Amino acid sequence: MDFLVFQYPMITVQACLDGILLGVLFALIAYGMALQWGVMNIINIAQGDLVILGGYIAYFMYLYGIHPAWGVIVAPVIMYFVGIAIYKLVINKVVDRDLFISILATFGISILFMQLMNFAFGADVVLANSGYGTTMLFDSNVVLPNSKIFSAFISILFGINAALCGVAGALISITFTIHPYMGLPYTIRSFMIVIVAGLGNLPGVAMSGMGLGVFEEFADYILGTEFRIGSVFLLLVLILVYRRFKLSRKREYLK
């Protein structure tokens, strides 16, 4: 362990600023998951894969000589229609089913996207080199009305989520390395942020995202980059255990 970050104030400040900026990116990804979970009662396991797909759009532009920063504009437009297509083909069939069914469906979408990205771009770690520098790296029980208007609304909502993932993915591909199988950590981060913030609490999503970003930066400085993702998974387990304990205490109090 390296506690150098606490011995030099400037390093501490740098870690906090980097974490806040990174957390804003995490919050952008989590906003879409919060909307889907809150309105449609769907936990989208493919959330992180939508992010990476958006990153590959920017990378594809880079390969053809277009500055990848333009991907921040192009990726959300393409991803919006990808999101609507996913809804029409898959989500529309499970939106009124049990939550576990939606998890299985989006898990299948996640596997499909990983294989398609691997087939199209290969499994190598890539970067859309922008010259900016690089680093490694509502009520859940709502009854959905069965109407064409509402179906169109939630399909647009799914498209907006994919567009947000596209923006985040394009930004990630510019400053972070990406590969087809790194979507899961972004899904876990989004899930954790939404759990901490609560459904419908959009300001809380932003604060939770920035808090997670700062936590990751300090974990990187103290434990090392190789334990960065591991610390995120450990934090998720601790949060779930705490929430479980809190719910059990509330049940005992009601009894």
In the chain, domain spans = 9-254
Residue 207 has pLDDT above 90, yes or no: yes
Q: What is the pLDDT of residue 210?
A: 93
Residue 211 has pLDDT above 90, yes or no: yes
Burial pattern 144-154, b for ≥16 Cβ within 10 A else e, equals eeeeeeebeeb
Phi and psi based region of residue 152 (left: phi greater than 0; alpha: psi -120 to 50; beta: remaining) = alpha
- The tokens describing 144, both together, are 């959905």
The pTM for the full model equals 0.83
Residue 39 has pLDDT above 90, yes or no: no
pLDDT digits (tens, 9 = 90+) for 16-38: 888 898 899 999 999 888 888 88
pLDDT digits (tens, 9 = 90+) for 159-170: 888 998 999 999
Could you tell me the pLDDT band of residue 150, with boundaries at 50, 70 and 90? low
Number of alpha helices (DSSP H) and beta strands (DSSP E) in the chain: 10, 0
Could you tell me the pLDDT band of residue 43, with boundaries at 50, 70 and 90? confident
pLDDT digits (tens, 9 = 90+) for 168-199: 999 888 888 888 988 988 999 999 899 888 87
